[in-house]
Amino acid sequence: MVSIGVFDGVHRGHAAIFARVRERAKELDGESVIVTFRPHPRLVLGKNSDDLKYLTTFEEKKNLISQHGIDHLIVINFTKEFAGLPPCTFVKDYLVDRAGLRHLVFGFDHHFGHKRRGNFENLKSCAALYGFTIEQMDPVVDGKSRISSSAIREALSAGDVRLACHLLSYPYSLRGKIIGGKQVGRAIGYPTANIEPDDEHKLVPADGVYAVKVIIGKQALRGMMNIGFRPTIDKHGKEKSIEVHIMDFEGDVYNHPIEIRFIERIREERKFESLEQLKTQLARDRERVLQII
């Protein structure tokens, strides 16, 4: 019992697919299998890859899928040669012959294969030819909107991390390492850790100030994050920064791995007339964070 896809974000819609795969595996006395790809197909095919922003890195996706009780995760090395396979050839060679496909659960809008010809209608003939059954899932909706990776990217790009986390069913996170900064935050009483994301294609939410959870080692701490160009401090505003003020924490954090879990956007980034005005606003922001978390 198999489903295939990129599964970016491993969101509530994907969870419904995984649940159906597990259900059919139990009914047919088989095993549940999820097939995905590495690297992301757009990185290989060069289709707007410079603009590619994904919700989960491969390791994040792998860990999230493992939480859904799937028996086997098959990762296919995505190459240009592989992308040129006709859909039915892929199904036979990779799913029927190697994974023992008996039933295929298909996402409601999924396409794959050469020229995206691998869709539900085209695969019906493959199913008849190679002796497996196939079903297509209905979209999972929240209110009037369907849950999709695109909808979550739109929410994050607008700074609506609460909505994104609701659609994902878990807090959206950003992983990286802490690097040296200009120490301006320390001088005004709000020392910050500057973060360099692990993956350049990982989506960073919209500029602004956020209430976040900060994970360092086994510690989960409250934090106040700023994403943007720090217009009050940096007059030229040419280089975007991702920095977090970690509350109730002291210690050397440079070059340490860090995970940021987004809770809520407090406000947009803006320029203040003086550092004193900025400090006053940061005090308000801190109180807001303490209320939220």
Could you tell me where the DSSP H helices lie in 28-176? 41-45, 58-66, 80-83, 87-90, 120-130, 149-157, 161-168
pLDDT higher than 70, residue 181: no
Give the pLDDT band (50/70/90) at residue 210: very high
The total of other beta-carbon atoms located within 10 Å of residue 235's CB is: 9
Contact 173, 26 (CB under 8 A): no
What is the Cβ-side half-sphere exposure of residue 10, based on CA atoms within 13 angstroms?
Answer: 23
Amino acid (1-letter code) at residue 171: P
Q: Per-residue pLDDT for 186 more than 80? A: no
CA-wise closest residue to 38 among 65, 58, 61: 58
One-letter identity of residue 267: R
Q: How far apart are the first and last CA of the chain?
A: 41
DSSP strands (E only) in the chain: 2-4, 33-38, 72-77, 103-106, 133-136, 141-142, 145-146, 173-179, 193-197, 208-216, 219-228, 241-246, 257-267
| pLDDT tens string 269-283 | 988 888 888 989 999
- The string of pLDDT tens digits covering residues 57-75 is 999 999 999 999 999 999 9
Task: Give the chain's domains with CATH numbers.
Answer: 2-146 (3.40.50.620), 173-292 (2.40.30.30)
Whether the predicted pLDDT of 88 surpasses 70: yes
What order of strands is seen across the sheet that includes strand 133-136? 72-77, 33-38, 2-4, 103-106, 133-136
Count each helix (H run) and each strand (E run) in the chain, helices first: 10, 13
In DSSP terms, which residues pair with 201 in a beta bridge?
Answer: none
The mean pLDDT of the chain is 89
Placement of tokens 């929240």 in the chain: 142
